[in-house]
Amino acid sequence: MNNIVHLMFKDLRLLVRDRFGLFWIFVFPLVYALFFGAIFSGQSGGGGGGKIGIAVVDQDESTSSKAFLELLAKHPSLSVRQNEDGSPRSMPLDAARDLVRRGKRAAYVALRKGFGDQGIDVFAPSRDVAQALVEVGVDPSRSAEKGYLQGILAESTFRHTIDGFADREKTKRDIARMSARVRDDPAIPAPQKLLLGVFFSALDRFLAGIDVSALASSTSDGASGESGMNLARIDLVDVTVEDEGPQSAFQITFPSAILWGLIGCASGFAIMIVRERTLGTMARLLTSPVTLSEILLGKGAACFVTCVAATLFLLLVAWIGLGIGLGSIPKLLVGVAASAFSFVGIMLVCSLLGKTEQAVAGATWGLMMPFVMLGGGMVPLIAMPSWMQQLSSVSPFKWCILALEGAIWRGFSWAEMVTPCLILVGVGVAGATVAFFLFRRTVARA
Amino acid sequence: MNHLPDGPSDPIIAKGLTKRFGDRVAVDDLSFSARAGETFGLLGPNGAGKSTTIRMLVGALKPDDGSIEIAGKTDPTRAEVKRALGYVPQEIALYDELSAEENLAFFARLHELKGKRLSDRIDFALDFAGLNDRRKDRVATFSGGMKRRLNLVTALMHEPRALFLDEPTVGVDPQSRAHIFENIETLRANGTTILYTTHEMEAAERLCDRIAILDHGRLMARDTVDALLQAHGTKTRVAIDLRQLPSQAVVETLPGELTGTTLRIEADDPFVMIGELRRFELDVARIQVERANLETVFLDLTGRRLRDT
């Protein structure tokens, strides 16, 4: 056991003094994660550029509802998908809910049937106070977006109402309709009817005489909730986002970066072993009172420790430096250990792929690259088509990424963690066993 | 021509050692032994099988046939045998990125040295190699000669009873070579049994009590230097430097071997031979009589020069 520890510390010391090796194990993966994470950031859930991405539903399909949605689409804080002609793209309510549920849009705004009828006719019988004409769906956990969106809607509703005053014919019709309805309503006493008739007449004259555009501009800044003119009642609907995707692009790029770090680690130690053979230190080790098993275990232990250190380093940078959620820490540690173990086996096999450092380095990268591409090291697994995701199962690297992502953002249960972790441990055991027998045959005795 | 081992108690015994690499026989039925406290040389040209033999003896290579006995044990891969032997490979088997001290400490710890004994042995080894002032420096910064010296003393950390040196002075500057020779002579004086492989006859003559001459994996002769010279180096060699080459007709009738303008002839009596050369009317610049050495022994045994192979 002491010999294994001596061998391990010797290799770790050699690694620490190999700046080039350290670059590939620690620095390159970090650069990779940050670079691609920065590129892919902001591409999910929102509208980009700090806007709240919303889906819109127009069930009313009236001129008024269309105008209201136009107003929303033009709002500088909102991002609304548009049709080719530039108008807001309305969709069915279910589709809008689904987009929010899947995290593709932060919220949806649905204008219900009757939205356009309300105008300024407060006596309309269709106006059911129990039934809001605007429905907003948003994830309850996104309280900031919810509050902000409510403010924007209040502002837009007010602006929409003010804009409605500019349509004199419509206003005249609304006033005439209200006047007729009051006149015909037997429940309203005659003196009140007379008084209301005078009021409607005065209102009509008043609206004919005001500058609506000036009114709109004078109220535009203060027309949110605090103005008290919340003309449209909003029905808030909770749409819980299903946790089926990463919350940040870094949650995808860091597991991939960890994979690159592990590859750098395996490659570095494989080269270290062949260097021992070419420089003669392996012969010196073999003539010391050390067994071949101890030599390989020492190498494996050093590789394992380095793999774990590189992984934890990247995870700590992601967590502390970038505030990226790491999901379940116990599961993550199990995933890290299983991944590191698998790379020990891979490293030992790779060390036998050639007789010189150049041969092993070339063969190692040549062998690993297709598996890396297939396993999600270059293109994230989540971005692969389903057939390729199935094909990628032949790559041990896929299981490595899956074990890490499972703990970080896929929300794997312990049962779900078992499959990738067992496969990784199996790869490690198989690699170490094959390497041991090949070593005994081709190195120690050749 | 193979000899049987001298005695059953010799610390290094090889019997019928054979090693093949594919169709090539690298070591062919080789038997010899090194007595306690002696320096035994394996002399031969490159490819003679010296390194293969030494690697089999230290357990780094498995022989196809034959047996080995080191310090009374027949399996050199056993830990107790490894503790009794020290091996200096032909390559500089050190970690360039570790310091001299760290290299010594690492290999010594594998031999279970620790504490004061470890630090004492490191001090001794660095003194012995003349590297005390460079103990903290990385080996990568050392000259070739310094690395060779450190390569040697690394094998001495655990005070082995049998030391196997595989061409320890290859590519070394004269000062370091002299230092290493002095080291080996000190070890020899202290009673360490040494197996020394070399293709340099001067080293073998200076350091070895007995020598085995190998060629193409086979043992050609084995004895003390004096005995070998007596048995195979009886003729005297005369080297005659010519000012100008004689005619082709004369060259074809000359005895000996003409290399450039130097004619080398072996003869029982050099004076008689020189007298006989008068009839060729050679334009002689200088005549040098060379004493018999291992080169002449090798030439006598194989028909080839050691340096030319």
Q: What DSSP string runs through A89-137?
A: -B--HHHHHHHHHTTSSSEEEEE-TTGGG-TT-TT-TT--TTS-SEEEE
The phi, psi pair for B41, rounded to 5°, reads: -100, 140
Residue A157 lies in a domain: yes
The confidence score (pLDDT) of residue A220 equals 45
- Which residue of A11, A14, A274, A281 to mutate against B (max B Cβ within 10 Å)? A281
Q: Does B85 touch chain A (CB under 8 A)?
A: yes
Chain B's closest residue to A295, CA to CA, is B110
Query: Looking at CA atoms only, how far is residue A6 from chain B in angstroms?
Result: 7
- CB spacing of A289 vs B79 below 8 angstroms: yes
Residue A292 lies in a domain: yes
SS3 B241: strand
- CB spacing of A279 vs B92 below 8 angstroms: yes
Where do runs of H (alpha helix) occur along chain B?
50-57, 79-84, 100-110, 115-129, 144-154, 174-189, 201-207, 225-232, 248-251, 270-277, 294-302
Average pLDDT for B84-91: 91
Residue A371 lies in a domain: yes
Q: How many CB pairs under 8 A join A and B?
A: 69
B87 forms beta bridges with: B164
- CB spacing of B95 vs A10 below 8 angstroms: yes
How many other C-beta atoms lie within 10 A of the C-beta of residue A324? 23
Range with the poorest average pLDDT among A85-99, A343-357, B11-25: A85-99
Q: For residue A154, is pLDDT > 60?
A: yes
The phi, psi pair for A282, rounded to 5°, reads: -65, -40
SS3 content of chain A, % helix, strand, coil (to 5): 65, 5, 30
Chain B's closest residue to A14, CA to CA, is B97
If phi > 0 it is left, if psi is from -120 to 50 it is alpha, else beta; for residue A409 that is: alpha
Q: What tokens does A29 get?
A: 């993966």
Query: Looking at CA atoms only, how far is residue B86 from chain A in angstroms?
Result: 8
How many other C-beta atoms lie within 10 A of the C-beta of residue B259? 9
Range with the poorest average pLDDT among A412-416, B157-161, B236-240: B236-240
Is the CB of residue B35 less than 8 Å from the CB of residue B59?
A: no
Is the CB of residue B111 less than 8 Å from the CB of residue B158?
A: yes
The confidence score (pLDDT) of residue A307 equals 94
Domain that holds residue A19: 2-42+245-442
Using pLDDT thresholds of 50, 70 and 90, give the confidence band for residue A333: very high
- Which residue of B95, B113, B170 to mutate against A (max A Cβ within 10 Å)? B95
- CB spacing of A289 vs B61 below 8 angstroms: no
- CB spacing of B106 vs A10 below 8 angstroms: yes
Q: Are residues A222 and A87 in the same domain?
A: yes
List the helix and strand counts (H, then E) for chain A. Answer: 17, 5
Q: Does B154 touch chain A (CB under 8 A)?
A: yes
Chain A's closest residue to B160, CA to CA, is A288
Cβ-based neighbours of A350, under 8 Å, separated by 6 or more: A266, A267, A270, A360, A363, A364, A367, A368
Q: Are residues A317 and A369 in the same domain?
A: yes
Q: Are residues A19 and A150 in the same domain?
A: no
Q: For residue A111, is pLDDT > 60?
A: yes
Q: Are residues A259 and A118 in the same domain?
A: no
Task: Name chain B contacts of A446, Cβ cutoff 8 Å.
Answer: 61
ipTM tops the 0.85 cut: no
Query: Looking at CA atoms only, how far is residue A435 from chain B in angstroms?
Result: 18
Residue A334 lies in a domain: yes
The confidence score (pLDDT) of residue A214 equals 56
Task: Name chain B contacts of A279, Cβ cutoff 8 Å.
Answer: 91-94
Give the largest CA-CA distance in chain A: 118
User: What's the Cα-to-Cα distance from A288 to each of A327, A422, A439, B88, B155, rounded to whole Å?
Assistant: 47, 36, 17, 11, 9
Residue A270 lies in a domain: yes
**Closest partner CB to B110 (pick from A6, A18, A444):** A6
Q: Are residues A262 and A395 in the same domain?
A: yes
Range with the poorest average pLDDT among A189-198, A276-285, B54-63: A189-198
**Radius of gyration in angstroms for the set of CA atoms belonging to chain B, rounded to a whole number:** 23
Q: Are residues A120 and A150 in the same domain?
A: yes
Task: Name chain B contacts of A290, Cβ cutoff 8 Å.
Answer: 110
Q: Are residues A377 and A259 in the same domain?
A: yes
Cβ-based neighbours of B298, under 8 Å, separated by 6 or more: B43, B201, B213, B215, B220, B304, B305, B306
The confidence score (pLDDT) of residue B139 equals 95
- CB spacing of B61 vs A445 below 8 angstroms: yes
Chain B's closest residue to A17, CA to CA, is B97
- Top CATH class of B235-291 equals alpha beta
Task: Name chain A contacts of B102, Cβ cutoff 8 Å.
Answer: 13
- CB spacing of A10 vs B98 below 8 angstroms: yes
Q: Does B165 touch chain A (CB under 8 A)?
A: no
The confidence score (pLDDT) of residue B244 equals 86
Query: Looking at CA atoms only, how far is residue B234 from chain A in angstroms?
Result: 41
C-alpha span between A308 and A304 (Å, rounded): 6
Partner A, chain B 24-83, Cβ-Cβ below 8 Å: 55, 58-62, 79-80, 82-83
C-alpha span between A10 and A4 (Å, rounded): 10
The confidence score (pLDDT) of residue B234 equals 66
Is the CB of residue A245 less than 8 Å from the CB of residue A409?
A: yes
The phi, psi pair for A213, rounded to 5°, reads: -65, -35
Q: Are residues A165 and A35 in the same domain?
A: no
The residues on A that touch B, with CB distances below 8 Å, are 2-3, 6, 10, 13-14, 17-18, 278-281, 283-290, 444-446
Q: Does B110 touch chain A (CB under 8 A)?
A: yes
Distance, C-alpha B143 to centroid of its chain:
22
Q: Does B112 touch chain A (CB under 8 A)?
A: yes
Q: Are residues A320 and A337 in the same domain?
A: yes
Looking at per-residue confidence, does B46 or A227 come out higher? B46
CA torsion angle B128 B131 B136 B142 (round to 10): -130
pTM of the entire predicted model: 0.68
Residue A298 lies in a domain: yes
Query: Looking at CA atoms only, how far is residue B3 from chain A in angstroms?
Result: 27
The confidence score (pLDDT) of residue B68 equals 92
CATH 3.90.1150.30 is held by the domain B12-231: no
Q: Are residues A328 and A433 in the same domain?
A: yes
The confidence score (pLDDT) of residue B54 equals 93
Domain boundaries, chain B: 12-231, 235-291
Q: Are residues A438 and A339 in the same domain?
A: yes
**Closest partner CB to B95 (pick from A3, A14, A445):** A14
- CB spacing of A288 vs B111 below 8 angstroms: yes
The confidence score (pLDDT) of residue A227 equals 36
**Closest partner CB to A13 (pick from B80, B92, B98):** B98
Closest CA to B53 of B223, B298, B217, B222: B217
The end-to-end CA distance of chain A, in Å, is 26
Range with the poorest average pLDDT among A29-43, A127-141, B263-277: A127-141
Q: Average pLDDT over chain A, rounded to whole?
A: 80
Residue A195 lies in a domain: no
Domain count of chain A? Answer: 2
Range with the poorest average pLDDT among A30-44, B69-83, B136-150, B237-251: A30-44
Q: Which residue type, as a one-letter code, is found at position A335?
A: G
Q: Does B103 touch chain A (CB under 8 A)?
A: no
The confidence score (pLDDT) of residue B31 equals 93
SS3 content of chain B, % helix, strand, coil (to 5): 35, 30, 35
Average pLDDT for A438-446: 67
A236 forms beta bridges with: A136
Task: Name chain B contacts of A281, Cβ cutoff 8 Å.
Answer: 93-95
- CB spacing of B93 vs A290 below 8 angstroms: no
Query: Looking at CA atoms only, how far is residue B208 from chain A in angstroms?
Result: 24
> For the domain that residue A149 is a member of, what is the CATH number?
3.40.1710
Task: Name chain B contacts of A289, Cβ cutoff 8 Å.
Answer: 79-80, 82-83, 110-112
Q: Are residues A149 and A13 in the same domain?
A: no
